[in-house]
Structure 1
Amino acid sequence: MMWSWKLIYEDETFNLFCDIDNVAGSEEFDNGIFPSADCYRPLPEKIVLWVSIGIKDKSVLKDYVERRKQSGLSFEGYNDFSHTLGVVEFDAENRLYRVIPAVDLDTRDQQLGTSSLLDGKKASLLKGIKSDWSKIESPRTSKAIKSLYHFFYTPASLSA
């Protein structure tokens, strides 16, 4: 699979990149069917996007490593942590999203372990980003999620 990463959001805490060439409807994603980049068509109401989340704030990264230790998860190599690779699902009809982190990678893009960045049992290390279905328009939703949503669903496309 080829990647085409685009920076969608960045602040002092983290950055969010999206692979803009590998966007699939959630039904297609569930069935393992991915249209080619040459297949242009309107976005379905439900989509799945590959994202990369990089932690820039060293105190957030330190807290993440500490949580992994406390949970009994591996933290070996996390001093070279670069980013978490995962997916974001959008339900445009109901204006919902969820983020599903998959794997943590180091600066050489080597796998460190299964990501626990968004542990639903504890307060999110990245404010306003949740792994359970949540409202996009909530004032507590991260600007990163809203920016990603509006990159794919412009106000004009939502009213059509």
Structure 2
Amino acid sequence: MTDVTVGRAGRPRTVEAAFVLSLAAIALQVVVWVLGSFVVSPTGFEELRGELGRDGATRQLAVSAGFLAVLGALWLLFCLRMRAGDGRARIALTVVGLLSGLFFLNTLSTDGFRWTADGGIGDLLLTDVLPDLPAAGAIVMMFLPASNAYFSAARREGR
């Protein structure tokens, strides 16, 4: 039998930790987008303005922000469903997290380690690795024995 440490709501702490890590991943995605678009020089807005003009850059960033908002809302929905015991949401979060990690590996294979280029190690960590770390931690937490027991019990109860 697995020793399950249960939180206040009857969920294992591993599931709660996965939920919090997923929320952190969502927040970091937003922070990285804002920093890349408006703060870290050269900003995405500056580069787009040079290519598309001010109106085109504003329109492109609005589309990008809308896309990020929709993805963030879906991610949050899956996080809430996972926290409630939905195993399908756990699988969806795992697949999306793994795909995100594969995109990072693809970036490394095409661009190499950018600390040897102009961007520096901070650029690599900020844009590619940092948002994926909490997502990877959430995946691990969702598949620990206590979490597996919780999702199995939820499936038997029909949640």
Q: Which has the higher helix share?
A: 2
Q: Which has the higher strand share?
A: 1
Does TM-score exceed 0.5, indicating one fold?
no
Scaled by the length of structure 1, what TM-score is found? 0.31
